[in-house]
Structure 1
Amino acid sequence: MNPRTHRAFPPLLAATLLLGACSDSGDPVSQLISDDPEPVIWRFALEEIAGSVQDAWAQEFRRRIEAISDGEVQVEIYPYGSIGTSPELTGLIQEGRVQLGFAAPGHLASTIPEAGVFLLPYLFPDDDEANLSVLADEELSGMLRSAWQRQGLQLLESVPEGWMAWTADRSLRLPEDLQGVRMRTMTASLHAEVFGIWGAEPVPLPYGEVYSALQEQQIDGQSNPVFAIQEMKFHELQSVLIQPRAIRFVATVVGNAEWYEGLDDRHRRWLEEAREGMPRFIDEVQRKYNASRLELIRETGGTRIEVLDESERARFREASLPVRDRYRELAGDRGDEILDRILTLSRADG
């Protein structure tokens, strides 16, 4: 394991930071004239485990920023489960105890309603290149940044992680097939409404509780990107994996807003330089991860893989349209602008 990829928060971290800042140990003259100042530490929290798409983004970002800064900035990475659940991680970033991290709409939409746009089915283009173009749109990004900033978060990037797939113990090819299926959803209410309108019985659960809920038969199915299904071993507890190509999983890279605004010109420049080209890099990673993990599931056996055809997708698309109106209600005028912008871009690209 990389020595700065942490499994648990260092003991008494806050106290250690305070003491380190106030310490009068050592020779004060030597400290004043030292040519090797202590490195600046940026803590980065993940909502996924090591080896995931988010981990790949964070590891590449760390490599770049440490090279650009010649080691003056160092990044400590905390995989999912090491310092808290997804909402807890976002709270740590808002408090400034962690500088950077991922924040996915599956929980973020509970406090930032505009984030729920990423939970709407059949909204973004089917084509990966077109999807990248939509996410890169500066007008859209500006709208999203304003919404995130109201919650003390600086939105740095929207990261595509691939199509959400479903797993269950029966075929789910039409909305009527979901009738009565206890489907795990992300904790934001809008995601539950999506599956509810398709006929399922939504069961909102944190990511870390999905495996045990499947094992204990508290739920009948779940939805995640293929790479996550494989690495979390959800497929080992289900007999069918369905690819509806309905919702693209998009996470956001965020920073504490005050921390970001307080960066000096040099550190801000390094941060922006490290981010250059990252959308293309991570899109290639997610395509590779999702394809290779699907092949691993296929090779393992025991899981039937089904891909919905266009007529089946059309049934789900039509059934899900009322959720867009619900999003507009929850997200207000800014949500209207965000949704309309994505619809315009998606039609143009697709």
Structure 2
Amino acid sequence: MRGIERGYTKNKKLMNIAKMSLLSLALLFPLSGCVGNNASTTEAAQEGNTDAGYQKLDIKLSHVASDNTPKGLAALKFKEIVESESGGNIEVKVYPSGQLYGDNDEIEAVQANNVQIIIPSAAKLSGFEETFEIFDLPFMFKNEEHLRAFEDGEGGQQLLATLDEYGMKGLSFWPNGFKHITNNKVAVDEPSDVKGLKVRTHGGQIINEVYEAMGASSTKIAFNETYQALQLGTIDGQENSIVNIETQKYGEVQSNLTLTSHARSEYAVVTNKQWWDGLEPKTQELLTEAMKTATQEGRNQVEKLETEAIEKIKSEGKMAIVELTDEQKEAFKQAIQPVFDKWAQKMNQDIINKAIEAGN
């Protein structure tokens, strides 16, 4: 009996040990599962939220300016935000400097959805809505603050909405600065100095008549072909923002720069409406918010890059710079006022009135 008792006692101890081992394992495995789940969550966060829930999407964005312009930097900011916030599910492929489409074919390309976003000169949309030439109305906007108040207000949004019926959707306005005149014939400090010059413009009717009013002729030439046209003497001069004048190296083929600020170099950000309407609401919201941030980035860059550009032009010393006095600028205003009066009457009067009110 004692032998049996000893055996029983021994077996009981072994069973207790086994129970303890099973209990330890039972406690261990749930904890291991919890640790594994936490690790997976941390890993997903570190990967930039690849499970962000956004649809897989490739977006082509085409524009004709350099990367180091307000427009170029705003485009890169848009790309950065969209790709980051979507966890990489949405890829924005930016094509600067007319690499994909140029001035003359980008609008048709976006209407055909061969490219999803373009950023043309606003005046190039005047064939659909004449009021897009509001930025070419001479001395329409007094300063940056006046312009921003219009673009962000009812007038600017009303103007963008006119594209809907043409298979496009206006997303925003992006800045490039006020326009100034360069040429290789004469230092321009009064309207009569412009007489006889052949000047490159984007081809809008208003800006062409601005030069006609001062006795000059205008020629439509694609932005990325302007340098060569100046170099070959096909034209005498051109008008552009300070940043474009510097980044396109027009000082190599021009000898005079006059800071007129006579019109605005402004862009409209445009997408294909059918493509946009087919996006998931969550994706539309992301693109809209990214566009707001990118727009602000472009605005922040304008003043900074313009200051840097004018300083660089001065330091290079290749162009003589004329800075107009208030009296001289008033002479330009008077010379081209008839153009303003004529075209302002042809545009959407509600939008024109809102633009004027934005400056008050």
Tell me if both proteins adopt one fold, taking TM over 0.5 as the criterion.
Answer: yes
Deviation at 1:261, TM superposition (A): 1.6
Deviation at 1:37, TM superposition (A): 9.4
Q: Is the 8 A contact 1:102 1:252 kept in 2?
A: yes
Structure-2 residue corresponding to 1:344? 357
Q: Distance in 2 between matches of 1:149 and 1:330?
A: 21
2:224 match: secondary structure: helix
User: What amino acid is aligned across from residue 165 of structure 2 in structure 1?
Assistant: R
Structure-2 residue corresponding to 1:224? 240
Structure-1 residue corresponding to 2:183? 168
Q: 1:261-287, CA deviations, whole angstroms, 9 ceiling, x for partnerless residues?
A: 222111011112212343332111111
Structure-2 residue corresponding to 1:253? 269
Structure-2 residue corresponding to 1:51? 68
Deviation at 1:328, TM superposition (A): 4.1
Q: Is the 8 A contact 1:157 1:253 kept in 2?
A: yes
Structure-1 residue corresponding to 2:292? 276
Q: Of 81, 90, 101, which aligns to 1:64? A: 81
Residues 1:278 and 1:85: Cα distance change in structure 2 (over 3 Å): closer
User: What amino acid is aligned across from residue 47 of structure 1 in structure 2?
Assistant: V
Q: Distance in 1 between matches of 2:125 and 2:292?
A: 25
Residues 1:188 and 1:130: Cα distance change in structure 2 (over 3 Å): closer
User: What amino acid is aligned across from residue 344 of structure 1 in structure 2?
Assistant: E
Structure-2 residue corresponding to 1:125? 142
Q: Which structure 2 residues correspond to residues 165-244 of structure 1 after superposition, within 5 A?
A: 165-169=180-184, 170-244=186-260
2:286 match: secondary structure: helix
Q: 1:39-60, CA deviations, whole angstroms, 9 ceiling, x for partnerless residues?
A: 3111101121232222101100
Q: Distance in 2 between matches of 1:93 and 1:327?
A: 28
Q: 1:64-94, CA deviations, whole angstroms, 9 ceiling, x for partnerless residues?
A: 1111111111100111321232131111111
User: What amino acid is aligned across from residue 259 of structure 1 in structure 2?
Assistant: W
User: What amino acid is aligned across from residue 304 of structure 2 in structure 1?
Assistant: K
Gaps of 5+ in 2: 1-50
Q: Distance in 2 between matches of 1:147 and 1:52?
A: 27
Identity of aligned residues (%): 24
Q: Is the 8 A contact 2:103 2:120 kept in 1?
A: yes
Q: Which runs of 4 or more aligned residues in structure 1 lie more than 6 Å from their structure 2 counterparts after TM superposition?
A: 35-38
Q: Distance in 2 between matches of 1:49 and 1:142?
A: 27
Q: Is the 8 A contact 2:160 2:172 kept in 1?
A: no
Structure-2 residue corresponding to 1:309? 325
Q: Of 150, 160, 172, which aligns to 2:165? A: 150
Structure-1 residue corresponding to 2:310? 294
Q: Is the 8 A contact 1:106 1:191 kept in 2?
A: no
Q: TM-score, normalised by structure 2?
A: 0.81
Q: 1:114-162, CA deviations, whole angstroms, 9 ceiling, x for partnerless residues?
A: 2111111111122x2333222211x112321232223222111111211
Q: Of 89, 109, 113, which aligns to 2:130? A: 113
Q: TM-score, normalised by structure 1?
A: 0.83
1:103 match: secondary structure: coil
Deviation at 1:329, TM superposition (A): 5.7
